[in-house]
Amino acid sequence: MKKWTLPALYVLMLGIGFINRHDLIRWLESEPPLSLIIILATLLALFPIAPFRVVIAILGFAYGTLWAAAIAWLSTTAAAVIIYVVVRTIYREPGGRLLERYSALQGFTTMVERHPFPAMVLARLMPVVPQMAVNIYAGVASIPFWTYTIASALGKSPGILLYAWLGSGFSERPLLFVLLSVAIVALTGIGLA
């Protein structure tokens, strides 16, 4: 029963977010308290109704680069820690068995466990690596909590600053920032090919 708790909660939050999406947009326009924005951003990082890069850009548009980056950094770090703790508590044993099934993955896991800090920073810096996968993998592998948390927080910073800057600049020079966004998406797509 415990195994289905997180997926069920995820589906429930997606449904609630979709049903109430118009109310959420109106709420953001009413200038709610910063603490509520951080909570909402954390929930959007936990249950991604939209890609979180878009959320960061919207925050950048609404709050400027530095405030948006701070909000996004706090919220994504909190979400990453929550996922790590849940996976480590509930799914570590079955996840560990799954990792042991594949020899190539087992070798990779051994390497990551030997050098967890640079591995986590590098995983966070790479835009093609799904961040939720990093959270789940770190919870299953033997990566110490504080190493994971600090490396994740550091590795997320450049990307968060970039997307917050893109969002904040959109209001001042929309054409330039649309072109930059398209270029980033194209480069990411080329990297995936």
pLDDT tens figures, 67-93: 999 999 999 999 999 999 998 898 888
Lookup: tokens for 104: 């190539």
pLDDT in tens, 127-162: 778 888 888 888 888 889 999 999 999 999 999 998
Lookup: tokens for 74: 């706090």
Whether the CB-CB separation of 113 and 141 falls below 8 Å is answered with yes
The share of the chain scoring above pLDDT 70, in percent, equals 78
Whether the CB-CB separation of 41 and 75 falls below 8 Å is answered with yes
- pLDDT at position 74: 96
- pLDDT at position 192: 47
How many CB atoms are closer than 10 A to CB 132?
Answer: 15
Distance CA 76, CA 96 (A): 25
